Amino acid sequence: MVALRIPPRRPSTARPPPGLLPGGRGIVRGTSVADRRRITRRTLLAGVLAAPIAGCANPALRSPASPPNPAPPPKTAIPPSTAPLEALERKYQARLGIHALDTKTGATLDYRADERFAFCSTFKTFAAAAVLQNHSLSYLDTKIPYTPAEVNSFSPITQHHAGAGMTVRQLCDAAIRYSDGTAGNLLMREAGGPAGLTAYLRGLGDATSRMDQYEPELNRDPLDDPRDTTTPRALAADHRAVVLGTTLQPDQRALLEDWLARSTTGAQTIRAGVPAAWRVIGKTGHGDYGRVNDVAVLRPPGAPPLVFAIMSDRAAYDDEPRYALIAEAAKYVARTLG
């Protein structure tokens, strides 16, 4: 469902009137009869004035537990209606999942945010991040050998270097900017395989996502198969952690952001749905069952970043991906949250 989460306002620190206990819970012992009458009238009037306000509260606008320093409410309220996103699903005959976050206000937009979708190539960001985190930058110059038999997925870059091998830096560039499957597999192997990458995600605080296979198999799982899946909420949180958080050192994070920002695969998805002036730091993925995903940190000029995770799939194994669905969903999210 679509829901706007707004961090609650800081509790009032105003002192109660003389003779009245905090929160209106009673009257201080020893208060005069005249003061008691004034307090009773004042308390009753306050309760009458407050009642209509409480009765008009919108149940679709939910607030999380109060953080230590709650952010102000968002400037734009998100309509508590699923209709626009349901219409997109009907238009493209697809299932859509969204989690989007305004990092300034804490407001979120959620639609099927906790349903499972296949990772597809979005895992490559985390494979590269795991390798960066586990090694010094000098390790990026290490050459990783591989054979022609290991080039068994969409591999526009690595197919030209089988036998000779490529450096870790080149593999990161190929996996993230060109979504090279063999490069992603080699990085995942460097991170300890699917189990090692799952452990890395657990270290980010993600108890939901899991990796079980390499490409191309991870793109082919049936729709009800939990292997190699995540949720829009978990994917957005992981992407935010490695791009905006302190998981990586600043020089490592700068490298990762540069690769993501110069991706060659996202022109039809989130990038197509947001203003051209926004910097998009993202990773796409697609696979069988018409799967198309995109996850990104977005930097509008002069504003704090936003985080979008938009995922989709379709009913049949041979269904074509609907890239325009992701673009239209991104446009909707940017208009209502951005």
* Nearest CA-CA partner of 36 in 16, 19, 17: 19
Instruction: Give me the residues paired with residue 20 across strands.
Output: 27
Burial 281-306 (b: 16+ CB within 10 A, else e): bbbbbbbbbbbbbbbbbbbeeeeebb
Please give the torsion angle defined by the CA atoms of residues 195, 197, 203 and 204, in that order, rounded to the nearest 10 degrees: -140
Catalytic pick from 121, 153, 155, 179? 121
Other residues' Cβ atoms within 10 Å of the Cβ of residue 216: 14
State how far the alpha carbon of 277 is from the alpha carbons of 75, 262, 280, 311, in Å: 20, 14, 9, 23
Which pairing describes strands 95-102 and 108-111: parallel, antiparallel, or unpaired? antiparallel
215 is catalytic: yes
Angle between helices 250-261 and 123-134 (to 10 degrees): 150
Distance from CA of residue 68 to its chain's centroid?
22
Task: State how far the Cα of 112 lies from the Cα of 82, in Å rounded to an integer.
Answer: 10
- Amino acid (1-letter code) at residue 99: H
Structure tokens at 161: 């270097």
Task: State how far the Cα of 215 lies from the Cα of 223, in Å rounded to an integer.
Answer: 17
Catalytic pick from 153, 179, 215, 328? 215
Task: State how far the Cα of 260 lies from the Cα of 257, in Å rounded to an integer.
Answer: 5
Contacts 24+ apart (CB under 8 A), 251-257: 251/137, 252/132, 252/133, 252/137, 255/132, 255/137, 255/172, 256/125, 256/128, 256/129, 256/132, 256/172, 256/176, 257/281
Reported as half-sphere exposure (CB side, CA atoms, 13 A), residue 17 has a value of 14
Which pairing describes strands 61-62 and 4-5: parallel, antiparallel, or unpaired? parallel
Residues marked as catalytic:
121, 215
